[in-house]
Amino acid sequence: MTDYIIALDQGTTSSRAIIFDKKGSIISVGQKEHEQIMPRAGWVEHDPIEIRDNMREVIGIALGRANLTRHDIAAIGITNQRETAVVWDKNTGIPVYNAIVWQDTRTQSIVDRLAGDAGVERYKDIVGLPLATYFSGTKIVWILENVEGAREKAEAGDLVFGTTDTWVLWNLTGGPSGGIHATDVTNASRTLFMDLQTLEWRDDILADFGVPRSMMPEIRSSSEVYGEARETSLLRETPVAGILGDQQAATFGQAAFDAGESKNTYGTGNFLIFQTGTDIVKSENGLLTTVGYKLGDGPTHYALEGSIAVTGSLIQWLRDQLGIISTAPEVEQLALSVDDNGGVYFVPAFSGLYAPYWRPDARGAIVGLTRYANRGHLSRAALEATAFQTREVLDAVNADSGVDLTELKVDGGMIANDTLMQFQADILGVPVVRPVVAETTALGAAYAAGLAVGFWNDLDELRANWQEDKRWTPNDDVEERERQLRLWKKAVAKSMDWVDADVR
């Protein structure tokens, strides 16, 4: 009996395979971290072969732990870190360079060159995005311009590009022998190359970037049968039937399907998505316009997104670079060792600032330091940075939509932190709500796949699966909230204008 769906979540820090039942409950999980390769300041890479192999391994772990085989699995859903670019030789399956990760800022000079006199918003009306290092487009250009022989091979039609959904799909469905080279509309909407109206690659933009169209995957919906897992896979002959970029998947997993519904995910970075239905809404306040989902032949659903580059990764930084904690949860104990932030504010502009500022010239800043400040204050400031950044994105969403959100649905690794969630509610002034199944990213991909094969019938069935687990209610100290926010904004101002010709 095919009673289950397996979701493959190819994330920034790890790859996961999660098996779900019809209620959307987790049956088993396999998870493996991969190396974060940082050869220089601002550069972040992953080894695509390590990711491919980890994905195979975690599929085995998830099946093994649940004591299931492929015969129990109705379909495979894929979700992924978005924007991270892989370029590989389609004849051999060997990448010509490491994956260049979404946080990587090496392509700023390519962004500047493409922006020229027209500015970074030159394609925004078509693709919904400003030119920025964040998106896949300039990462492909960097590989073509900096890897020996890459341009020639690309022009000869031997190299292909994919975000990691495409990389996983291609390998799962046959690799060099017949692998399917496709992506879904949500991932495609993060490249800078897809027209939001037509859902097709724009030849003119590809030409401006110098990226051969033959490298680009086919754009498909988020929920349809793309193909079957190949013979040598543990999941052989199982249909791959759903693909959603991780943030859109989390939104789907939160059952936030309709215009006006939203969620905020607290992972490596934070991403608030606000569904706008079938309307393409242009932001006046620093949000991105992106595709929310498209189910088979159904209408395209669009969304506004507030992307914050550094939230959970700041906690990893305290752990790995400073060594003041040995595990992420320890940050909460340290933060609770002091009464307040001691006047310290930490702006983690490690990749510049994303929403709502979009300032590549910003860099990380810790301000308000005195001789009094200790590790506790620093930990507290690091946690609070996540809440302040979220508040600024929520303000942008409220301004763009013209209605104020009355509560915030949350998910992701950081929501295990009670102190942060309470502070978040206090700084927002609205309740923060966590669902029972916090693995919404994988759940959303499972939903997309399950809908395509009739495992679930409609969205109402999925809505019925959503259940509240916990709610944090804000305190009513409006004056303190506004004071803190004012100081945060002052700190943000101090992080700007750092990168100039002299800063390498």
Ligand X SMILES: Nc1ncnc2c1ncn2[C@@H]1O[C@H](COP(=O)(O)OP(=O)(O)OP(=O)(O)O)[C@@H](O)[C@H]1O
Residue nearer to ligand X on the CB measure, 332 or 426: 332
Residue nearer to Mg ion on the CB measure, 24 or 312: 312
d(CA 458, CA 135): 32
Q: Which two tokens stand for residue 462?
A: 């999925």
Q: Which stretch binds ligand X (CB under 6 A): 11-19, 108-116, 443-451, 475-483?
A: 11-19
- b/e code 261-280 from CB counts within 10 Å (16+ = b): bbbbbbbbbbbbbbbbbeeb
Least CB distance to ligand X at residue 33 (A): 8
d(CA 274, CA 256): 9
Name the DSSP letter for residue 90: T
Considering CB distances under 5 to 8 angstroms, the limit depending on partner class, which of ligand X, Mg ion, none binds residue 144?
A: none
- Among positions 430-459, residues that touch Mg ion (CB under 5 A) are 441
Q: What angle do CA 386, 110, 119 make, to 5 degrees?
A: 80
Binds Mg ion by CB under 5 A, chosen from 5, 7, 8, 11 = 11
Residue nearer to ligand X on the CB measure, 416 or 459: 416
Q: Which two tokens stand for residue 218?
A: 């086919």
- Among positions 222-281, residues that touch Mg ion (CB under 5 A) are 246, 267
Task: Give the three-state DSSP class for 34.
Answer: coil
Widest CA span in the chain: 65
Considering CB distances under 5 to 8 angstroms, the limit depending on partner class, which of Mg ion, ligand X, none binds residue 81?
A: ligand X
Q: Which stretch binds ligand X (CB under 6 A): 163-171, 200-208, 408-416, 489-497?
A: 408-416
Least CB distance to ligand X at residue 495 (A): 20
Number of residues that bind Mg ion (CB under 5 A): 4
| Per-position DSSP letters for 122-190, written without gaps between them | TTHHHHS----TTSHHHHHHHHHHHSTTHHHHHHTT-EEEE-HHHHHHHHHTTTTTT---EEEHHHHTT
Task: Give the three-state DSSP class for 263.
Answer: strand
Residue nearer to Mg ion on the CB measure, 104 or 400: 104
Residue nearer to Mg ion on the CB measure, 180 or 256: 256
Residue nearer to ligand X on the CB measure, 36 or 214: 36
13 near ligand X, rule: CB under 6 A? yes
Number of residues that bind ligand X (CB under 6 A): 20
Considering CB distances under 5 to 8 angstroms, the limit depending on partner class, which of Mg ion, ligand X, none binds residue 286?
A: none
412 near ligand X, rule: CB under 6 A? yes
81 near ligand X, rule: CB under 6 A? yes
Least CB distance to ligand X at residue 64 (A): 22
Hey, which residues does 194 pair with through a beta bridge? 201
312 near ligand X, rule: CB under 6 A? yes
Q: Which stretch binds ligand X (CB under 6 A): 139-147, 194-202, 280-288, 328-336?
A: 328-336
CA 438 from chain centre, in angstroms, equals: 16
324 near ligand X, rule: CB under 6 A? no
| Per-position DSSP letters for 264-308, written without gaps between them | EEESSSEEEEEEEET--PPPSSSPEEEEEEEBTTS-EEEEEEEEE
Comparing CA positions, the residue from 299, 298, 309, 305 lying closest to residue 267 is: 309
Q: Which stretch binds Mg ion (CB under 5 A): 6-14, 33-41, 68-76, 351-359?
A: 6-14
Residue nearer to ligand X on the CB measure, 8 or 219: 8
- Contact map string, positions 361 to 400, toward ligand X, x by CB under 6 A: ----------------------------------------
312 near Mg ion, rule: CB under 5 A? no
| Per-position DSSP letters for 329-349, written without gaps between them | THHHHHHHTSSS-TT-EEE--
37 near ligand X, rule: CB under 6 A? no
Considering CB distances under 5 to 8 angstroms, the limit depending on partner class, which of ligand X, Mg ion, none binds residue 268?
A: ligand X
CA 113 from chain centre, in angstroms, equals: 26
Binds ligand X by CB under 6 A, chosen from 417, 440, 465, 495 = 417
d(CA 388, CA 424): 8
- Contact map string, positions 253 to 282, toward ligand X, x by CB under 6 A: --------------xx--------------
Least CB distance to Mg ion at residue 15 (A): 10
Considering CB distances under 5 to 8 angstroms, the limit depending on partner class, which of Mg ion, ligand X, none binds residue 414?
A: ligand X
CA 144 from chain centre, in angstroms, equals: 24
- Among positions 331-360, residues that touch ligand X (CB under 6 A) are 331-332
Residue nearer to Mg ion on the CB measure, 217 or 267: 267
Task: Give the three-state DSSP class for 72.
Answer: helix
Comparing CA positions, the residue from 298, 300, 333 lying closest to residue 315 is: 333
Considering CB distances under 5 to 8 angstroms, the limit depending on partner class, which of Mg ion, ligand X, none binds residue 312?
A: ligand X
Q: Does 329 sit behind a cis peptide bond, omega within 30 degrees of 0 on the bond before it? A: no
Residue nearer to Mg ion on the CB measure, 45 or 246: 246
| Per-position DSSP letters for 380-417, written without gaps between them | HHHHHHHHHHHHHHHHHHHHHHSS--S-EEEESGGGG-
d(CA 83, CA 98): 14
Q: Which stretch binds Mg ion (CB under 5 A): 3-11, 58-66, 67-75, 490-498?
A: 3-11
Per CB under 6 A, residues contacting ligand X are: 11-14, 81, 267-268, 312-313, 315-316, 328-329, 331-332, 412-414, 416-417
Per CB under 5 A, residues contacting Mg ion are: 11, 246, 267, 441
